Structure 1
Amino acid sequence: MERSGLKINKDIFSAFFRVGLLGFGGGPAAIPLFHREAVINYKWMTEDEFGDTLALGNTMPGPIATKMAGYIGYRVNGIIGCLVALAASVVPTVVLMIILLGILQKYKDLEWVNSMSAAVVPVVGVMLAVMTWDFFQKSGKALGIGRAILFTAIAIILLEFLNIHPAIVILGVLILSLTSFKKEVGSK
């Protein structure tokens, strides 16, 4: 393997190892970390490409963290990049889970252990809120603020009140977008 291939794989491993190590709270907590590594730190993809990857990844079965790592790794360096990203994101999680759950199980009756576990939840909530706001702003620029608010309201109703699966909502939006795009192309 050439030197640049080693450097790329080292970068992939470093990025996804950090995500695996710091992504407490599961996939939703790891998404902002994936974003930071793939879009901001390494510039492997644009904001829009990351949003598309996340949306598509959420429509498929399985954990979002492994799907994101696998796809981004593949995109950066093919099958080898995919395998490196998957290993780097999964191994720290498995090791930390074994260690931390062992410790938590041993000391589960202590108040500080319960407080420590509860303290992580608001941090994850803030990370997700920041990312949500970023996506909303991008939607506002692409669609116009009125349409972005309308689509957000419709998504909240479909997801939260009607309990429609996110994959169905995303698929519906994709179909609507494709049919709207065809109409625009046909009218030109």
Structure 2
Amino acid sequence: MKHFHIFWSFFKVGVLGYGGGPSSIPLVHKEVVDHYKWMDDDEFSDILAIGNTLPGPIATKMAGYIGYRLAGWLGAINAVLSTIVPSIIAMIILLVSLSTFSELPWVIGMTHAIVPVVGVMLAILTWDFVKKGTKDLGWKFNWALIVGSTVLLQLLNIHPAIIILVLLIVAFSTTPKQEGKD
């Protein structure tokens, strides 16, 4: 039954994750944390943070890890396939019929209407991360990171990978070393 639940959860994410990875993250959160309670908010946040540091689509990375954590390699394969199969089928169908329907008003309207919905979903998830960061780091340091990252990304146009790499190096170099007990 666990494999069915893994499949069904990530299949829904694959079907409903209109717009790619960023719109899929709140859907994965809803299934994994709220519905099935396979992990808590803190663990989900950690997985998302680590997943964002790695190359590739975030939805498949998260599906692979969560599936593996729940049911080993078969769970990982199940979760990844159930995430990508809806996209593969939809791409084939949409590419075949794109020229026929792309100019219809309802298709254009649907495409424009979904953007604000995805924006709200991302804003809610972002606010949850801000709250978690404030709890973990304190509000001054958390907001300094938010403002600093915004300046580096938007005003100075520094690539996000460079910022992530620098923050990882700082985090690893400032983490207290664990001393072995004899």
TM-score normalised per structure 2: 0.90
AA matched with 1:94? I
Equivalence for 2:51: 57
Alignment pair present for 1:177 and 2:138: no
Equivalence for 2:5: 11
Please show how residues 87-126 of structure 1 align to structure 2 within 5 Å: 87-126=81-120
Give 3-state SS (helix, strand or coil) of 1:182's partner.
coil
Task: Measure the CA separation in 2 of the matches of 1:84 and 1:169.
Answer: 33
Q: Which runs of 5+ in 1 are unaligned?
A: 1-6
Between 1:115-124 and 1:50-59, the stretch displaced more is: 50-59
Number of residue pairs aligned between Structure 1 and Structure 2: 179
Alignment pair present for 1:147 and 2:141: yes
Q: Deviation per CA, 1:99-137, whole angstroms, max 9, x where unpaired?
A: 244444312222222111111100000000000000001
Give 3-state SS (helix, strand or coil) of 1:112's partner.
helix
Indicate if the aligned counterparts of 1:59 and 1:166 stay in contact, CA closer than 8 A: no
**Structure 1 residue 159: Cα displacement:** 1.9
Indicate if the aligned counterparts of 1:55 and 1:170 stay in contact, CA closer than 8 A: no
AA matched with 1:14? W
Task: Measure the CA separation in 2 of the matches of 1:48 and 1:167.
Answer: 23
Equivalence for 1:82: 76
AA matched with 1:47? D
**Structure 1 residue 78: Cα displacement:** 0.8
Alignment pair present for 1:158 and 2:155: no
Q: Which runs of 5+ in 2 are unaligned?
A: none
Task: Measure the CA separation in 1 of the matches of 2:99 and 2:66.
Answer: 35
Q: Deviation per CA, 1:37-61, whole angstroms, max 9, x where unpaired?
A: 1211122222222112112212222
**Of 31, 35, 47, the match for 1:37:** 31
State the superposition RMSD in angstroms: 1.8
Task: Measure the CA separation in 2 of the matches of 1:14 and 1:96.
Answer: 17
**Of 65, 69, 79, the match for 1:71:** 65
TM-score normalised per structure 1: 0.87
AA matched with 1:115? G
